[in-house]
C-alpha cells in the first residue's frame, strides 16, 4: 500500500509551537460537484507560508476524467478543453503530498477540500491525510461573525481588505484564504492565541461569553502545575492542577460545561500559577492550597470537614464503640478518620455484628455492682455482652475487648472472619438482603482498616527518598518536601492524629507510592524508619457474585 507523508504524533511541545514557527499550506480545490463520491477534482492550488513569508506555490489543472457540468464552467471558467491536456489526479497526488509535507493544512471550509483529497487518496491506495487542519471559516465564525453579513470567502476578503480577491480559481482562492488567515491571526493574538494549540482550540473557545478574558491566559506555560483563579480583590476563587497549564485553563473558556464555570469566569480577574516538576507535586500543592485557602468554587478537597472517627472507649469499665468528630488524648483507641459519620456508623455496626461488644451507652461506675435492672434490647436478644444483663463477667468482657483491639491494630481477620462466616451462611439460606447488608458492612470495615493502616504507616514512616524520571522525591512522615515550605519538618505528635486536613495529602502520597513503585516509575533510594509496607498485609474486599453466593477478593 502506498502511504502519504504522515506527520509525527504531536507532543505538547509540538502543539505549543509559536505561530511564527508553524508552516501552513493553504489549499483550495475546484471540482465538478459538491460530493467526492460523485464528483472529481478539476484544479488544485496551494501556497506555503511560514512567519508571513511565502515559501512556495503549487498550481495545476486536473483532468477529472468526467464531463464538467455547464454551471461549474460558468462558476469557475474551467472548460473541458482546458482540462483535457492536464494530468490526471494520479499524477498530481505525489507532488502535492510532497509540497504539503508535514505542514498544517489551511482552507476555507477545509473539510470540503480534504474530503476530495482523502477520497482520491483512498481510491488509489494512499492513507488519508493525518495533518492538523485550520479552517478559516471556523476562525471567522468566532472572530468576525458580528461584523459581516455572511462568512463567504469573498465577503471576508472585502471586509478584511486583502489584496487578492477570490474568483473560484484554485490558486487565487488559496492566496486570498492565506491573507484572510493572517488577518485572523492578528485578531486572535489579542485573545492570547500565540501557539498552534491555541489556534486549533479557538473555534470552540471563542464561543464562550467570557472569551475576552482569554488574555489572562497569554503567559501560562505548557507545563505541569497548579493554577489559581482570583477575583478583583485578589481573593482565590478556585484552585486546580494540570499536566499542561495553558491547555487546561483555556479549556474553561469552551470545553468545560460544568454549571459553576460561567460564574467563576465572570468573577475572575487574574490567573496565577505555580509550575511543578510532576503530577505528584501538582496534586500535593493543589491539596494544600485548597486546605489553607478554602476557595469558594472548590468542592473537592474540603471533605475533611465531614470526617468522623470510631472510638473504642478503653477508659471505661466496659468499653464500647461510639462515633465522634475529633480525637482526644483520653486513652481510647480511634479508627479513622472515616469519610463521614454515616461511614463510621457502618463500620461500628460491622464490628458489633462480629463481636458482642455492649451497645448501650449507660455509664458503669468503677465500683458499682453489675445489676440486671432493665437489659437493653441487644442484651435481651443475646447479641451483645452488656453489663445490664447482670451476668457479664468483667474478665470475659475484657477478652472481647482485647479481640477488638487486636483486630483493629494487627489481625483484621479476628473481625472479618465472623462476618464472612455470617455472610456465607445467610447466602446459603437464601436470605440475600441480610447477606448483602453483612457484605456491605464487611467491605466498609475492610476499607476503613486499610485506610487507617496506610495513614498510620505514613505518619510514622520517617524520611523516604524515591528516584523518579523528574528527579528525587523526598517524603517526611508521609508529606512531600517542597522547596520553600516547612514540609521537611516531621509532624507534630499531636497533629499526627488531630489534624484531619492533612489526610487528603497523605492519601495522595499513599496512592502515588503504590502506583509509582508498582509500575517501576519510582525506586526507593533510602528510608530512615519506614517499613517496606504497612503492617498486616492486604485486606479483602467483598462482592455478591450471584443470588446464591459471594466472593472474597483482594
Give me the domain span that covers residue 157. Answer: 12-189
The confidence band for 237, taking pLDDT boundaries of 50, 70 and 90, is: very high
Predicted local confidence at residue 85, as pLDDT: 94
CA angle 44, 122, 89 (to 5 degrees): 30
Catalytic residue IDs: 168
Work out the number of other CB atoms within 10 angstroms of the CB of residue 98: 11
Q: Does residue 487 carry a pLDDT above 80?
A: no
Residue 246 and residue 337 share a domain: no
Range of 170-179, 186-195, 263-272, 375-384 with top mean pLDDT: 170-179
Residues 285-295 have a mean pLDDT of 90
- Is 480 domain-assigned? yes
Q: Identify the band that residue 540 occupies on the pLDDT scale cut at 50, 70 and 90.
A: low
Same domain, 48 and 132: yes
Which phi and psi angles does 223 have, rounded to 5°?
-135, 160
Tell me what pLDDT residue 495 has: 39
Backbone angles phi, psi at 93, to 5 degrees: -60, -50
Domain termination residue (choose one: 131, 156, 189): 189
Distance CA 400, CA 398 (A): 5
DSSP three-state, residue 230: strand
Are 128 and 44 members of one domain?
yes
Question: For residue 321, is it within any domain?
Answer: yes
**pLDDT for 256:** 58
Q: Is the pLDDT of residue 215 over 50?
A: yes
Q: How many domains does the chain have?
A: 4
Please report the pLDDT score of residue 12 as a whole number.
41
pLDDT tens column, 542-553: 444 443 444 555
Contacts of 462 (CB under 8 A, 6+ apart): 476, 477, 490, 527, 528, 529, 530
Statement to judge: residues 409 and 278 lie in one domain: no
What is the per-residue pLDDT across 127-164, written as a single tens digit (0 to 9) for each? 899 999 999 999 999 889 889 999 999 999 999 999 99
- pLDDT of 83 reads 94
Distance CA 432, CA 438 (A): 10
270, 301, 332 — which closes off a domain?
Answer: 301
Q: What is the DSSP secondary-structure string of 454-479?
A: HHHHHHT--EEEEEETTEEEEEETTE
| Inside any domain, residue 120 | yes
Residues 6+ apart with CB under 8 A from 149: 155
Most confident of 52-56, 377-381, 463-467, 514-518: 52-56
Sign of CA dihedral 280, 285, 286, 288: positive
408 and 339 co-located in one domain:
yes
Helices (H) and strands (E) in the chain, counts: 19, 17
Judge whether 99 lies within some domain.
yes
Rounded to 10 deg, the angle between the 413-428 and 341-354 helix axes is: 80
Q: What is the CATH number of the domain that holds 221?
A: 3.40.1440.10
Output the average pLDDT for the chain. Answer: 83
CATH of residue 94 = 3.30.420.10
Regarding predicted confidence, which is higher, 532 or 266?
Answer: 266
- Co-location of 155 and 214 in the same domain: no
* Predicted model pTM: 0.64
Note whether 275 and 225 are within 8 A (CB): yes
Q: 178 lies in a domain?
A: yes
Q: Is residue 24 part of a domain?
A: yes
Phi, psi of 466 (to 5 degrees): -120, 145
Residue 375 located in a structural domain: yes
Strands 225-230 and 104-107: unpaired
Same domain flag for 294 and 384: no
Using one digit for the tens of pLDDT, what is the confidence trace for 418-448?
A: 999 988 899 888 888 888 998 999 999 998 9
Which residues are registered as beta bridge partners of 133? 105
Q: Which three cell numbers stand for residue 412?
A: 483484621
DSSP tag of 507:
H
Same domain, 129 and 225: no
Let me know if residue 548 belongs to a domain: no
pLDDT of residue 389: 63
Mean pLDDT of the region 204-218: 74
* Domain co-membership, 468 together with 370: no
Q: Following CA atoms 531, 536, 537, 538 in sequence, which dihedral angle do they give, to the nearest 10 degrees?
A: -130
In terms of domains, do 164 and 100 share one? yes
Looking at the structure, tell me whether residues 60 and 178 fall in a common domain: yes
Q: Are residues 469 and 443 in the same domain?
A: no
Q: What is the pLDDT of residue 203?
A: 82
Amino acid at each position: 500500500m502506498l502511504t502519504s507523508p504522515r506527520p509525527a504524533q504531536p507532543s505538547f511541545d509540538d502543539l505549543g509551537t509559536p505561530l511564527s514557527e508553524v508552516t501552513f499550506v493553504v489549499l483550495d480545490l475546484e471540482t465538478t460537484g459538491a460530493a467526492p463520491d460523485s464528483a472529481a477534482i478539476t484544479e488544485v492550488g496551494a501556497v506555503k507560508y511560514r512567519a508571513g513569508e511565502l515559501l512556495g506555490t503549487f498550481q495545476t489543472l486536473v483532468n477529472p476524467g468526467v464531463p464538467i457540468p455547464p454551471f461549474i464552467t460558468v462558476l469557475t471558467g474551467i472548460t473541458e478543453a482546458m482540462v483535457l491536456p492536464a494530468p490526471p489526479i494520479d499524477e498530481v497526488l505525489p507532488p502535492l503530498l510532497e509540497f504539503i509535507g508535514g505542514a498544517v493544512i489551511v482552507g476555507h471550509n477545509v473539510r470540503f477540500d480534504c474530503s476530495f483529497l482523502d477520497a482520491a487518496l483512498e481510491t488509489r491506495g494512499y492513507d488519508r491525510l493525518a495533518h492538523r487542519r485550520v479552517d478559516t471559516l471556523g476562525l471567522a465564525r468566532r472572530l468576525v461573525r458580528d461584523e459581516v453579513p455572511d462568512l463567504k470567502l469573498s465577503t471576508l476578503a472585502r471586509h478584511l481588505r486583502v489584496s487578492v480577491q477570490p474568483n473560484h480559481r484554485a490558486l487565487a482562492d488559496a492566496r486570498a484564504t492565506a491573507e484572510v488567515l493572517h488577518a485572523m491571526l492578528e485578531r486572535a493574538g489579542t485573545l492570547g492565541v500565540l501557539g498552534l494549540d491555541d489556534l486549533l482550540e479557538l473555534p470552540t473557545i471563542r464561543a464562550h461569553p467570557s472569551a475576552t478574558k482569554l488574555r489572562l491566559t497569554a503567559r501560562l506555560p505548557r507545563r505541569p502545575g497548579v493554577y489559581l483563579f482570583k477575583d478583583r480583590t485578589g481573593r482565590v476563587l478556585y484552585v486546580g492542577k494540570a499536566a499542561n497549564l495553558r491547555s487546561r485553563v483555556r479549556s474553561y473558556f469552551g470545553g468545560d460545561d460544568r454549571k459553576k464555570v460561567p460564574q467563576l469566569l465572570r468573577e475572575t480577574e487574574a490567573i496565577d500559577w505555580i509550575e511543578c516538576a510532576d503530577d505528584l507535586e501538582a496534586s500535593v500543592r493543589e491539596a494544600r492550597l485548597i486546605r489553607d485557602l478554602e476557595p469558594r468554587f472548590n468542592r473537592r478537597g474540603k471533605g475533611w470537614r465531614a470526617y468522623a472517627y470510631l472510638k473504642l472507649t478503653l477508659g471505661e469499665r466496659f468499653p464500647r464503640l461510639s462515633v465522634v468528630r475529633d480525637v482526644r488524648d483520653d486513652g481510647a483507641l480511634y479508627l479513622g478518620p472515616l469519610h463521614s459519620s454515616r461511614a463510621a456508623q457502618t463500620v461500628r455496626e460491622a464490628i458489633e455484628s462480629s463481636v458482642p461488644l455492649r451497645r448501650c451507652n449507660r455509664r458503669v461506675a468503677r465500683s458499682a455492682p453489675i445489676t440486671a435492672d432493665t437489659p437493653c434490647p441487644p442484651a435481651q436478644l443475646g447479641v451483645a455482652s452488656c453489663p445490664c444483663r447482670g451476668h457479664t463477667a468483667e474478665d470475659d468482657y475484657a477478652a472481647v475487648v482485647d479481640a477488638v483491639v487486636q483486630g483493629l491494630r494487627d489481625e483484621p481477620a479476628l473481625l472479618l472472619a465472623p462476618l464472612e462466616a455470617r455472610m456465607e451462611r445467610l447466602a446459603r439460606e437464601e436470605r440475600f438482603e441480610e447477606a448483602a447488608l453483612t457484605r456491605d458492612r464487611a467491605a466498609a470495615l475492610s476499607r476503613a482498616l486499610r485506610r487507617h493502616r496506610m495513614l498510620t504507616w505514613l505518619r510514622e514512616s520517617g524520611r523516604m527518598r524515591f528516584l523518579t524520571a523528574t528527579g528525587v522525591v523526598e517524603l517526611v512522615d508521609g508529606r512531600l518536601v517542597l522547596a520553600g515550605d516547612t514540609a521537611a519538618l516531621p509532624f507534630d505528635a499531636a497533629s499526627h492524629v488531630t489534624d484531619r486536613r492533612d489526610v487528603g495529602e497523605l492519601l495522595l502520597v499513599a496512592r502515588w507510592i503504590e502506583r509509582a513503585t508498582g509500575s517501576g516509575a519510582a525506586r526507593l533510594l533510602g528510608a530512615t524508619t519506614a517499613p517496606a509496607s504497612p503492617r498486616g498485609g492486604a485486606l479483602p474486599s467483598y462482592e455478591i457474585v450471584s443470588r446464591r453466593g459471594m466472593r472474597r477478593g483482594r
